[in-house]
Chains A and B, each alone.
Chain A
């Protein structure tokens, strides 16, 4: 990656917004003057990590976005707005050098931590250094490990140098929350600091208390430097069972449904509930069936195409998922500028599947299962046990595949088991999995489809299907070097076309999640650039 090109990408991604410290620039008509009331967010997994720099999962984000601030925030449209920074650094305003390596960030004045102490550039330096501290159990270090020479010029100005250009760093910073130096530095073991159970941030909400296994209560920070908050109490309630979660939404115990949202079978009823808003929100997750390319039968494209043709995608989507998801042929989110609209559409046709297999030499044996050279066309399919909708889809697919003479056996595993070596080292036959292929909005999928990304063969990455196509490899390598967007679009559309042709995984659908909240809660918006529904809880308010 050259410096010029990285810079261009940074410029593309960021927009300087000098006048918008708000999270949403809407006029404040009906908003209460003082934070009042309370909003209860229901979650089906329990947040347990409260230090935003430590290894965490999606559900922990809701708390971090509310208790902490980052240098910038990313809006639903992909634009960056300053949060703790006074402005988004660009080449024009001197925040970035021409080659994209020198950063100079100006910080907001008058920001206070929840304990009253002032926020300064020292805190930013401490945060960036803590992340790459080898003794600290941090979440991800990509990008941060390229930062050198962090210098505190003044309490409101900080500079550093990147050792090499790294385009996504702006969006990484938008998820890097700043932690207080004066609280964490004195601790000898930051992994076990008291701060981790009672975090202190600069965000719109202060830490209230946690009732383990039940809920977490956040309290409004009345001295918040940005817009809001408008509610006095923000409560994240843990309800492990999705049915009970929905029941409590229906009964009003919960005001807003968080992950894993409302199940598809409740959507119709949820739409009719009085006093509730129910909305279908596209998610970047694409559900597909990964086929391990090193299995003898999966090496033949005819087999993969035949299996694809023997899956009744439409019935699965319409009947099992109540019509909520969108069928797709590509891994790219449909809203992306890189999305390829011209991919061949799936057709459910068992005769065609049978013909393909016959022509490839797979003849039906006495038990109805096809055989070729002594190998039976029989394989395992796995997914997370307990995921009822997927289990139902599996059994339905099993039935239609059998009609085509293919035997698919079901062997599900608990989440902690299936996503271990079984997945990462390609020990499976086939897996049904929902994946978000992109990091941020960048179309680079080297990690997923390049032959150098196969861990089972000694590579580095997540090409767990062990897909290897030299043409695709070349395209991916070129795409990572190119910064001309028109050329990039061309390249990545070709990648999608090749992948669709080769079918290393069978694309099923793109999820639409069902979000619900009480109608009197305003300013609830979805943001596919973040992983939580509570990314803008500071702007929420309840209409009187």
Chain B
């Protein structure tokens, strides 16, 4: 196990290096750059723009800049934003809580909802509910999340006026109720895809358990079927669920980006789009590295769990 972890750690480092190199090169090759925002400003001269380019270090060769950036990165200096000069980690840190709130709430919702649907579907196999749930899951996986968000805004905000159309809270009202009010629609939209995945997975897991002997034994003994079911489902399915959760990380990050766009949510997805639009390279690279790291950790967790659960799988 230790050898495996050691191996994986170094593999991840190499991967991060490759990812960062490709990302850095692609970003810097995009024509335009962070100075285009000044192009139409009549009062700025070409000398001013050139000077700022020099001060931002953009006049140095690409590979040199890459090594400079990555060397600082390993030492913990993720660079400073081109736009407001604050350290990239601070910038990301400011937006992180909003995304975590959204992702966390939607994970809870999708787990609870997914579990309920999955268990119900498994215990009432081939019923109308089960059939509807299966079809519903597949449709849910096919709906473009951003469109679902737009429709949600249209129905619940514009037409019915029940829920707000965006933002995290109304200015001046920082009550918990206000936060929750704003959280409902975005987190539901974000959980659309994950509910579908979870429900199908849990259904399969429960079906696996149901068909096994100890259930029949328990039934014969008169023990409450439900209690046995739950205990064994939880016992057997828990670890794979963690594995599944680990592998959902990139999808969740991508989904958060979509949802934050549609709902004007001040999270990391919003930050990514804004920074890309302004060619704020340090922040974009910072976000890229962060999500790559999170993805790798998620995958690692999943692989460890799978290995623990199924000893046949070689940890190579």
Contact = CB atoms under 8 A, between A and B. Distances in A.
A414 interface: yes
Contacts of B34: 416
Q: How many of chain B's residues touch chain A, expressed as a range?
A: 35 or more
A499 to B, nearest CB: 17
A215 interface: yes
Given A38-B172, A415-B36, A419-B36, A438 B42 contact: yes
A447 B166 contact: no
Nearest to B41: A57
Contacts of A240: 264, 270, 274
Interface stretch (B17-25, B84-92, B109-117): B84-92
A49 B40 contact: no
Contact of B32 (A55, A135, A416): A416
Contact of A239 (B40, B47, B264): B264
Interface in A445-463: 447, 455, 460-462
A38 B33 CA distance: 38
B264 A416 contact: no
A438 B36 CA distance: 19
Contacts of B279: 416
Contacts, number: 140
Contact of B85 (A40, A192, A424, A455): A192
Interface in B165-222: 165-168, 170-172
Interface stretch (B4-12, B48-56, B127-135, B244-252): B48-56
A212 interface: yes
A214 B37 contact: no
A420 B35 contact: yes
A436 interface: yes
Q: How many of chain A's residues touch chain B, expressed as a range?
A: 35 or more
Nearest to A239: B264
B168 A437 contact: no
Contact of A135 (B40, B55, B165): B55
Contact of A422 (B32, B37, B277): B32
A447 B264 CA distance: 39
A423 B55 contact: no
Contacts of A417: 30-32, 36
Nearest to A434: B40
B94 interface: yes
A244 B166 CA distance: 8
Given A196-B84, A237-B171, A416 B45 contact: no
A248 B153 CA distance: 13
Nearest to A192: B85
A421 B31 CA distance: 7
Contacts of A139: 44, 48
Contacts of B35: 420
A142 interface: yes
Contacts of A46: 274
B146 interface: no
A57 B266 CA distance: 21
A435 B36 CA distance: 14
A389 interface: no
B224 interface: no
Contacts of B48: 55, 138-142
Contact of B39 (A135, A413, A414, A423): A423
A514 B45 CA distance: 30
Contact of B84 (A50, A140, A239): A50
A187 B172 CA distance: 35
Nearest to B46: A460
A518 B46 CA distance: 41
Contacts of B46: 424, 455, 460-461
B83 A418 contact: no
A433 B40 contact: yes
Contacts of B148: none
Interface in B78-125: 80-81, 83-86, 91, 94-95, 98
A191 B55 contact: yes
B32 A140 contact: no
B43 interface: yes
Contacts of A436: 40, 42
Nearest to A455: B46
Contacts of B167: 214, 239
A139 B98 CA distance: 32
A415 B84 CA distance: 19
A38 B173 CA distance: 13
Contacts of B84: 48-50, 196-197
B42 A192 contact: no
A137 B56 contact: yes
Given A55-B52, A139-B44, A211 B266 contact: yes
Given A142-B45, A415-B36, A421-B32, 9 more contacts: A48-B83, A49-B84, A137-B55, A137-B56, A237-B171, A238-B266, A414-B277, A433-B40, A462-B42
7 closest A-B pairs by CB: A213-B266, A420-B32, A419-B39, A417-B32, A212-B94, A419-B36, A48-B84
Interface of B: 30-48, 51-52, 55-56, 80-81, 83-86, 91, 94-95, 98, 158, 165-168, 170-172, 264, 266-267, 270-271, 274, 277-279
14 contacts: A140-B45, A142-B45, A196-B84, A213-B95, A213-B267, A213-B271, A213-B274, A239-B167, A240-B264, A248-B165, A414-B277, A416-B32, A435-B40, A435-B42
